[in-house]
Amino acid sequence: MHMADDVLAATVLWGNHWLAAAVALLAGLGAVYYARLWRSLPRGPLDSPFTIADAGIASGLSLWFIVLIVRSGGGPQIVSSEAIAASAIVYAVLVGLLFGMLAIRRISPVKAFGLWWRDWRSAMPLLGLSFLAILPVVAIVQWAASLLGGGKPESQPLLDFWVANPDFASRALVAGMAVIVAPAAEEAIFRGYLYGAARRFAGPTGSMLAASLLFAAVHIHLPAFLGLFALAMALNIIYEKTGSLWAPVIMHGAFNACSLAAAVLWPEAA
């Protein structure tokens, strides 16, 4: 999920071209910032606890996601309280199986994903700056995608459900899913395991591109594809720079929280 639609629509509503220019300038600076981080990353295959077996398992899991994407046919998602709860259960099962599989093979998820984050305090400035840098980048990418699509920006179904159901139970369910469950599960699956297993043999560059494409596609929302891809690339880079999965989890959760807040502030744009 993302807040680009809300921010850009609000810009149009305000009729403030200076604001649009400022967002474009910040997006350019954000792109330069991430390009510099990208160039500082190591190249080539990297040492990790993952083995050729993980490459096979990751390939099978990726294929399963691709089958789900194809079977969806690109049709609209039906979002309800029951569907959100069911998605949370699926996420919990997938992460549980993943961690269990690693534990059985005596691969510590704590070490593999950098979950014992000793230097988290010193990484907070990097994380904060990286979060601020990606916001305008996603906004501009999403705006450009809407122009190419020939239509107005289209929000994701979960945001529509959030706006249409202001009762406490529905809001708490969506917030819990978007800010806690989805970031933790998706980062463990896409960044921690799929990307982690691929980079062991293919190196960061190609692995980041592949994992980010899959991450964007699995949300099954074509208008948001490019924005989600940009976000996923940023999360991969931050994971590499910090060495801990907690960094992209926090950044992902904060990004989704901003999306929810923007939808409340500008419901007419959601």
Is 176 a member of any domain? yes
Tens of pLDDT, residue by residue over 136-148, are 999 999 888 877 7
Which sign does the torsion angle of CA 1, 247, 110, 43 carry?
Answer: positive
Tens of pLDDT, residue by residue over 150-162, are 555 567 888 889 9
- Predicted confidence at residue 11, as pLDDT, reads 46
Is 144 a member of any domain? yes
Is 207 a member of any domain? yes
- Predicted confidence at residue 21, as pLDDT, reads 81
Q: What span, in angstroms and rounded, lies between the C-alpha atoms of 179 and 224?
A: 18
- Predicted confidence at residue 19, as pLDDT, reads 75
Contact criterion met (CB below 8 Å) for 212 and 232: yes
Angle between helices 246-265 and 157-164 (to 10 degrees): 50
Q: End-to-end distance of the chain based on CA atoms, in angstroms?
A: 12
Count of the separate structural domains present in the chain: 1
Domain span at residue 234 reads: 4-37+52-269
Is 47 a member of any domain? no
pTM for this one?
0.91
Q: What span, in angstroms and rounded, lies between the C-alpha atoms of 254 and 63?
A: 29
Q: How far is CA 107 from CA 51, 60, 116, in A?
A: 10, 19, 14
- Mean pLDDT of successive 10-residue segments in the chain (270 residues)? 50 58 91 95 81 94 94 78 94 95 93 93 96 95 77 74 93 96 97 94 90 94 90 97 96 96 74
Q: Give 86's contacts (C-beta < 8 A, 6+ positions apart).
A: none
